[in-house]
Amino acid sequence: MNTRSSPAFVNSLLVYSLVAIGCTGSVGLGMVWSRRQISLLAGENKALASRIAEVARQSEETTAEVAAQQDPSALLQRNAEWHLGLVQPADDREQRIAEDPEMRLASKRNSGLFSDRAMPVAFRVASQP
């Protein structure tokens, strides 16, 4: 007995075709969504890159302005304009340190903390009558 007839075959073929079209459509929709997300992220990356470049430019401008303000001739001119009366320190008042100043100050501060010699320890014992 042939339980399958021609209309039943067509109905199953129609169902499978609709499922295949639905799956293909969802895959296509997913691809469009992922491309949109990639486009949005690329725009955000471009905006961040331009902001980083702007901050770097501002930092370089600030560094140049600070260097110009620390120029000795500019400092002497400002000293004269504002009547501060500041003078250069005498050469005998300056000390040049060849080593790292942070390490030197740390070793001076911690010189008494750790020593190689043994420290005497004394205990007082109270006796009871």
pLDDT, tens only, 10-61: 788 888 999 999 999 999 999 999 999 999 999 999 999 999 999 999 999 9
C-alpha atoms less than 13 angstroms from C-alpha of 79 in its C-beta half-sphere: 11
Per-residue pLDDT band for 91 (boundaries 50, 70, 90) equals confident
Which of 107, 87, 83 lies closest to 97 in space, CA to CA? 107
When pLDDT is averaged across residues 84-91 and rounded to a whole number, the result is 87
Q: Is the pTM of this model over 0.75?
A: no
What integer pLDDT is reported at residue 2 of this predicted model?
A: 54
